[in-house]
Amino acid sequence: MVLNLWKEDSIPEALEIAEEENRHEAQLIDMIEEQRLEYVGAMTLGLNDALVELSGSLAGFTLALQDPKLVAMVGLITGIAASLSMGSTGYLASKAEKTSRSPVKSGLYTGSAYIFTVAVLILPYLLLSNVLIAPAVMICNVIIVILVFNFYISVAQDLSFTKRFSEMAMLSIGIAAVSFGIGFLMRQVFGIDI
């Protein structure tokens, strides 16, 4: 925005020009149609589903399998299959809605957001050999992804960052905790010790 450095009584024309420039700037910002913002729903679908589903799965696999490389392998298989599924779901959903958005682009944004999240969540299991540190780092990665994505969306769409961030973080971490418990329970029920 153009700074208001003039006093009204010293140069009234300058104040009028500054106000007009501020209006023009606001109009130009409203005219900008960033493609990523047009597909923010598709990205949210892919990102959030991956955060919730895969963080929960990885937490459960961690306790059930007790080997970071094995967890990474199972997580990658699950994540890649799920990203393909989510991409096709994004495509079909966009086609059914009959909006001006391209179904192909919608599917690609959904699948790409999912596979990006898979890579970020699997990385600790590939790099770390400690079965207890890897899930802790994975949860930190979940929070970082949620933070960055919600900051971008909040700024771009002028939404409340705190509300969006806390809602998404509580869902993802809550489901990961429940899945961690399910993994422990399944390990006990099936008596498998890997």
37-94 pLDDT, tens digit each: 677 878 888 888 888 888 888 888 888 888 999 999 999 999 999 999 999 998 998 8
The C-alpha atoms of residue 147 and residue 176 are separated, in whole angstroms, by 17
The verdict on 21 and 112 lying in the same domain is no
Q: What is the DSSP string of 96-161?
A: HHT-SS-HHHHHHHHHHHHHHHHHHHHHHHHH---TTHHHHHHHHHHHHHHHHHHHHHHHHHT--H
Contact 49, 86 (CB under 8 A): yes
Domain co-membership, 27 together with 85: no
Looking at the fold, whether 8 and 69 belong to one and the same domain comes out as no
pLDDT of amino acid 1: 46
Pair 68, 147 in one domain: yes
**Which carries the bigger pLDDT value, residue 17 or residue 143?**
143
Q: Residue 46's Cα: distance from chain center in Å?
A: 7
Asked whether residue 94 falls in the same domain as residue 170, the answer is: yes
Same domain, 84 and 7: no
Nearest alpha-carbon partner for 116 in 175, 46, 166, 53: 46
Does 100 lie in the same domain as 10? no
Residues 5, 85 share a domain: no
Tally of structural domains, the chain: 2
Q: What is the pTM of this model?
A: 0.73
Same domain, yes or no: 85 and 179: yes
Nearest-10 Cα torsion for 147, 153, 156, 159: -100
Token pair listed for 146:
């949620």
Tell me how long the chain is: 194
Count other Cβ atoms within 10 Å, centred on residue 42. Answer: 28
Question: Which domain covers residue 73, as residue numbers?
Answer: 36-190
Same domain, 140 and 182: yes
Predicted local distance difference test score (pLDDT) of residue 138: 92
Q: For residues 146 and 75, is the Cβ–Cβ distance under 8 A?
A: no
Question: Which candidate, 174, 173, 190, places its Cα nearest to that of 65?
Answer: 190
Question: 47 and 28, same structural domain?
Answer: no
Q: Look at residues 75, 86, 137 and name the one whose alpha carbon lies nearest to residue 113.
A: 86
Q: What is the CA radius of gyration of the chain?
A: 23
Structure-model confidence comparison of residues 106 and 37, the more confident one: 106
Encode pLDDT of 113-162 as tens digits: 999 999 999 999 999 999 889 999 999 998 999 898 888 888 777 788 89
Same domain, 113 and 171: yes
